[in-house]
Amino acid sequence: MKTVVAYYSHGGKTKAVAQGVALELQCGTEEIRLKKIHGKKPGAVDMMQKRKKGQLPAIYHESLNLNKQRTIILGGPIWGGTVAAPVFSLINHTDWKNKTVAIFVTAALFGTSKALAKLKKELESRGATITGQKAFFSSFRNPKTLKTAGARWAKTLKNTK
Ligand SMILES: Cc1cc2nc3c(=O)[nH]c(=O)nc-3n(C[C@H](O)[C@H](O)[C@H](O)COP(=O)(O)O)c2cc1C
């Protein structure tokens, strides 16, 4: 079955988890990349504030091609108690009907349960079935540790693929 790990990562922590998941599931990764505005990528705080006004950042969704995938592992960092805006940009550009999705977030400290619940609800309302969810705390963890943690979680997903 076709599986991919799609993620957004601003500082590399979520990317490390995503790489661990992909390694364990022996599948590819797709990074959500931001489009530049006036030659500059938008900053995290700026995106967080715009999100509150209902504005989502532009991403290179054309090249992601998630519509052919049956199973998507979707992850992103927590920003201000919710999943980072670029993940929601991706959600808007993907057809989630009949897809099996496992979701994960990385965070320094707080907001993970509510953020995961919101993300789950959003995807389910678009027709996806959520088969797993996980929060990874990233403070003081190096990429190698996060990659291992991602791989460990992915093991638990194998039965649901
Ligand atoms: C703008 C911004 C807002 C954040 N808000 C939260 C938050 O509400 N709760 C939290 O625990 N961590 C928060 N963090 C920390 C990140 O969620 C955490 O460091 C995450 O692992 C970063 O992932 P990345 O390196 O893949 O971007 C925030 C980070 C940024 C840049």
Lowest mean pLDDT among 60-69, 125-134, 137-146: 60-69
Coil, helix or strand at residue 131? strand
Between β-strands 3-7 and 82-83, what pairing exists: parallel, antiparallel or unpaired? unpaired
Q: Rounded mean pLDDT of 139-153? A: 97
Domain count of the fold of the chain: 1
CATH number of the domain where residue 16 is located:
3.40.50.360
User: Which residues form the pocket of ligand 1, taking CB atoms under 6 Å from any ligand atom?
Assistant: 9-15, 44-45, 48, 77-81, 106-111, 138
pLDDT number for residue 67:
83
Q: How far apart are CA 117 and CA 123, in angstroms?
A: 10
**pLDDT in the model for residue 63:** 85
Ligand 1 site-directed mutation target among 78, 139, 142, most atoms within 8 Å of CB: 78
pLDDT of res. 1: 54
Confirm whether 97 is domain-assigned. Answer: yes
For residue 78, the cross-strand partners are: 83
Cα–Cα distance between 106 and 42 in angstroms, integer? 20
Does residue 53 lie within any of the structural domains? no
Expressed in angstroms and rounded, the spacing between residue 68 Cα and the centre of ligand 1 is 30
Could you tell me if residue 11 is inside a domain? yes
In a domain, 48, yes or no: no
DSSP state of 110: S
Relative to the CA of 76, which ligand 1 atom is closest? 26
Report the residue among 10, 29, 79, 109 best suited for mutation to probe ligand 1: largest number of ligand atoms under 8 A from its CB. Answer: 79
Cβ of 15: how many Cβ atoms within 10 Å? Answer: 23
The arithmetic mean of pLDDT across residues 12-24, rounded, is 98
User: Model confidence over 79-132: pLDDT tens digits?
Assistant: 999 999 999 999 999 999 999 999 999 999 999 999 999 999 999 999 999 999
Residue 45 counted as domain residue: no
For residue 50, being part of any structural domain is answered with no
Label residue 158 by pLDDT band (50, 70, 90). Answer: confident
Look at residue 128 and tell me if it is in a domain.
Answer: yes
Question: Could you give the maximum distance between any two Cα atoms of the chain, in Å?
Answer: 46
Query: What secondary structure does DSSP assign to 105-144, as a single string?
Result: EEESSS-HHHHHHHHHHHHHHTT-EEEEEEEEE-TT--HH
For residue 119, give its domain range: 3-32+60-160
* Number of the ligand 1 atom closest to the C-alpha atom of 82: 8
14 lies in some domain? yes
Q: Write the pLDDT tens digit of every residue in 20-66.
A: 999 999 999 999 999 998 999 999 999 999 999 999 999 999 888 79
Give nearest CA residue, ligand 1 atom 31.
Answer: 44
